[in-house]
Structure 1
Amino acid sequence: MQPTQNYDLVVIGSGAAGLAAALSFAEATAERPSPARVALLERSPESERGGATRWTGAFLRITEERKLDPDWPDHVKRVSGGLSDYDYCKTLEREVPATLKFIEEHGVELVFNEFPIAHTFDGGTARMTPPGNPKGGGAAIVSTLSAALDRHNNVDVYFETEAVRLATTDDGAVNGVVVRGNDGRLKLLGSQAVVLACGGFEGNPEMLTRYLGNQACDLPLIAPGIAYNRGDGIRMATEVGADTAGQFDMIHAEPVDRRTTSADAVLYGYIGGIFVNGKAERFFDEGKDTWDNTFELVGYEIWRHQNQEAYWIADAKTLAIPGIENALLSDVPPEQADSLSELARKLGLEPEAVEKTVAEFNAATGPGEFDHTRMDGKSTIGLVPPKSNWAVPLDTPPFIGIPLTAAICFTYGGVRTDVDARVVTPAGIPVPGLYAAGEITGLFYHEYPPATSVLRSLTFGRIAGSHAAAQLS
């Protein structure tokens, strides 16, 4: 097949990683006598550009000095049991300041708003340091970087276009992509380099079932954009000899309000309440750690062991936390009632079972003052499962509750890359001309220390684009 168009770089995917790669490459080559040509491919229509990035609030695990939480690389090492690529994590730490400068110079405004409950984004210690995020969330990143990219006349954006397979030279270098447009026909886009930035396999039920087993089909998507993440980048890369990394049978799932179809309707502010399943039985230690270190575990537990049905129950003490609404991201307010039995009926639970579970919990709560700003040590006594912190009796109306399910946010398993975002073989040798960035790249095992997905997508997308530009002949 002969190329119908020739480019210097083809980027597959228009989320944070893809936009950063295309824009950094376009800017790095802008002063050449003949500007390098870039193609950005996106499976979705233009109205849905941005993938998962567009829908996230995009918490950033950064300090106001524009640095990554210094504990994060070691945090990843601890929870992965040493399986994650530590050099990759340290590279992210080193490069975050440059990444934040990159997006701010293009017009993304970073804000540091107070959050109502403690987290460990600052040095691994539970505290109330305001987390960072772009004003306007991930949508602001997509719109701002897309506008900057659109100002480059040497960049072509193809919507409703699927990447089918990578083209290679006889000696194994990647030199293009076979694509299928909305006319259904195949064509070859020639290129000196390709960046895979098309997400994991969250939107592919077959792959989810292959790696996660039964019940994978019961996982709703946390946002519409990830429906386009079909695992094609992983498939195409492995077809040309790429290695994989990350835990393929693990996912980042989050507890979301099942009363709404709104994207990213996540429950973060649950520390003052309890979780129960469809039988009104507690199943999780809600105080084992701060919300940022447990919300993924709650989501996974709901999906894997609680038949995708759970409920959060709290009382007026949670409502009294200043700004708590900022940690309840659903567009539907919690159910509210003056009695537990009335709340149970609103949630669809058996009132007597709810009252029994809450009475047992209240009787087990120990002494001490409830303090949402730190790990307060207020725990239950003799209760299974325990509540290790914030174990305050649920005895003050109004009582509140939210019915929950688990939604998939991203998959762990993906393509293995080096610190220059180059895709590598099982021997660690870079595949010539092939890069990958974002959630297509495997990194995590066992747990995902959060608020870094957008950061690593932007950072390694930027690195991929800059490195590819430096290799141009």
Structure 2
Amino acid sequence: MNTPNSYDLVVVGSGAAGLAAAVSYAEATAHRAQPPRIALLERSTEDQRGGATRWTGAFLRITEERKLDPDWADHVQRVSGGLSDYEYCKTLERETPATLKFIEDRGVALEFNEFPIAHTFADGSPTMTPPGNPVGGGASIVKALSAKLDEHPNVDVHFQTEAIRLTTGEDGAVDGIVVRGPDGYATRLGAGAVVLACGGFEGNAEMLTRYLGANACDLPLIAPGIANNRGDGIRMALELGADTAGQFDMIHAEPVDRRTRKADAVLYGYTGGIFVNGKAERFFDEGRDTWDNTFELIGYEIWRHQNQEAYWIADAHSLDIPGIRNAWLSDVPPEQADTLDELARKLGLQPEALEKTVADFNSAVGPGEFDHTRFDGKATVGLTPPKSNWATPLDTPPFIGIPLTAAICFTYGGIRTDTNARVVTPSGVPIPGLYAAGELTGLFYHEYPPATSVLRSLTFGRLAGQHAAAQLA
């Protein structure tokens, strides 16, 4: 092992959480006569820095007043059955304005564009309120915070460097980390504190199989950056006795267009159509809730029970929704045909089976007016599975379809932290010198109320950096 280097802070991972931690720490300590040394470790090459953050559109569940949806913390409690950490969720709500100011002050511009179908980002009720997102998506966050970090000469960024294990002193406090650089040799970096911010285990087939079971290897990655999320932070923290949180056998999966290799090619705008599997049979109530509360469940269902094969089928009614193409994130347009027979052949489905499924659906559609801006109550009658809202007959050409598969976005299970992002033991005692933020920290059970992943990564990364800075003598 090579001669150790000494740092005051080592951050593992250069996504939203890691960058927020490093920047907040560097800025909080910059006034010192001798600013502390900081190391940022990144498994990827420099041009691929940023992890999952680099590839996401980074929807933010916020108001234009820069506040978190006030229903979100309670929403998490409802869907988790009370298993999620409510205090942690309320901390995110309280800290959201400061987090948004943090990124805006450092060059990230926010925008609020109209979205074509209703969602529940505003106090739990379906609305057409424009969701927030950074101009340029998550890549703009990576670019802006990386540029700020580069302004500090006391920061060393180590690319193509893997974290192997944490080290501790005789008192049990974290005092360093062993890493492996691009030359293959192991080196110990001394550290006054370590922030783990290197994602979950989406890119580790062994861990996915261990926790999710059979067919975990069939989950494609929603973006290239998460291939580097190998569960290193979780493994290293568990070796020191850290507690866990979140549901380890559950994932955030999303329905994506399987015709493209584009990252984040998600289908959000499916309100007016139906989903069928490889046998051209419906398998999900497409109108049970708004898209933001069902797209993850549909993704998981496609992977777990539909052999990773599904199709979204719609007609001119969907094409008539203003701006609907903005909710189809693929770079390939939907397949289109004048008849269901022709559409089925383009998609590789059995034509008679698709025609029967659509005919059964059409005959079950109840009365009412279709309204994509709210729960319209326009439902099917006597059909299994039902369509509880937005059930409009598929009878007007052109008919359109998108072949789908489920892609993994992040894992639920991870390390437990307190509201200062300190890693804690099962008894709730913080492990001295160890912090964690982002998707390697567990929180969710059963469902993920969306548009908060980047926001919580930024928030608790920022809090980790601030808390670690305050501990300096």
Which residue number in structure 2 is paired with residue 95 of structure 1? 95
Superposed, 1:72-471 pairs within 5 Å as: 72-471=72-471
Q: Distance in 2 between matches of 1:205 and 1:445?
A: 21
Q: CA deviation at 1:3?
A: 5.2
Give the letter for the 1:395 counterpart.
D
Name the CA distance, whole Å, in 2 between partners of 1:363 and 1:38.
Answer: 65
Partner of 2:40: 40
Within 1, Cα distance between the matches of 2:51 and 2:82?
Answer: 30
- Kindly provide the CA deviation profile for residues 379-416 of structure 1, in whole angstroms up to 9, marking residues without a partner as x: 00000000000000000000000000000000000000
Q: Name the TM-score, length of structure 2 as normaliser.
A: 1.00
**Secondary structure of 1:214's aligned partner:** coil
1:332-389 deviations in Å (ceiling 9; x for gaps): 0000000000000000000000000000000000011111111111000000000000
C-alpha displacement of 1:5: 1.2
Stretches (4+) displaced over 4 A = none
In 1: Cα distance, 2:180 partner to 2:72 partner? 40
Aligned residues of 1:119 and 1:126 also touching (Cα < 8 A): yes
The number of residue pairs the alignment matches comes to: 473
- Using the alignment, how far apart are the partners of 1:3 and 1:468 within structure 2? 25
Where structure 2 has 5 or more consecutive residues not aligned to the other structure, the ranges are none
Kept in 1, the 8 Å contact 2:2–2:185? The answer is no
1:2 CA drift (Å): 7.5
Work out the CA distance in 1 between the residues paired with 2:77 and 2:275.
29
Paired residue secondary structure (1:253): strand
Question: CA RMSD, aligned part only?
Answer: 0.6
Paired residue secondary structure (1:165): strand
How far, CA to CA, are the matches of 1:468 and 1:215 in structure 2? 41
Instruction: Tell me if the contact between 1:251 and 1:410 (Cα under 8 Å) persists in the aligned partners.
Output: yes
Query: Equivalent residue of 1:83, what SS?
Result: coil
Alignment partners' CA distance in 2, 1:99 and 1:129:
21
- Aligned residue type for 1:435: Y
CA distance in 2: counterparts of 1:53 and 1:125, whole angstroms: 28
Output the CA distance in 2 between the equivalents of 1:2 and 1:82.
48
How far did residue 4 of structure 1 move? 2.3
Deviation at 1:171, TM superposition (A): 1.2
Determine if contact 1:14/1:40 at 8 Å carries over to the other structure.
yes
> Match of 1:423, SS?
strand
For 1:472 and 1:126, locate their aligned partners in 2 and report how far apart those are by CA, in whole Å.
47
Q: Which deviations, in whole Å up to 9, do the C-alpha atoms of 1:275-314 show, x marking residues without a partner?
A: 0000000000000000000000000000000000000000
In the TM superposition, what whole-angstrom CA distance separates every residue of 1:195-228 from its partner, at most 9, and x where no partner exists?
0000000000000000000010000000000000
C-alpha deviation, 1:468, in angstroms? 0.1
Asked if the contact 2:302/2:405 (under 8 Å) is kept, the reply is yes
Task: Determine helix, strand or coil for the equivalent of 2:120.
Answer: coil
Tell me if structure 2 keeps the 8 A contact 1:233–1:440. yes
3-state SS of 1:249 partner = coil
CA distance in 1, matches of 2:296, 2:2: 47
**What is the DSSP-based 3-state SS (H/G/I as helix, E as strand, rest coil) of the residue aligned with 1:195?**
strand
| Cα distance in 1, alignment partners of residues 414 and 336 from structure 2 | 42
Tell me the SS of whatever aligns to 1:312. strand
Deviation at 1:36, TM superposition (A): 1.1
The 8 Å contact of residues 3 and 190 in structure 1, kept in 2 or not, is answered as no
SS in 2 for 1:192: strand
Shift of 1:241: 1.0
Q: In 1, distance between residues paired with 2:390 and 2:462?
A: 41
Amino acid at match of 1:278: G
If the length of structure 1 is used for normalisation, what is the TM-score? Answer: 1.00
Contact map agreement 2:2 2:186 (CA 8 A) in 1: no
| Residue identity matched to 1:98 | A
Q: In structure 1, what is the Cα distance between the partners aligned to 2:182 and 2:309?
A: 39
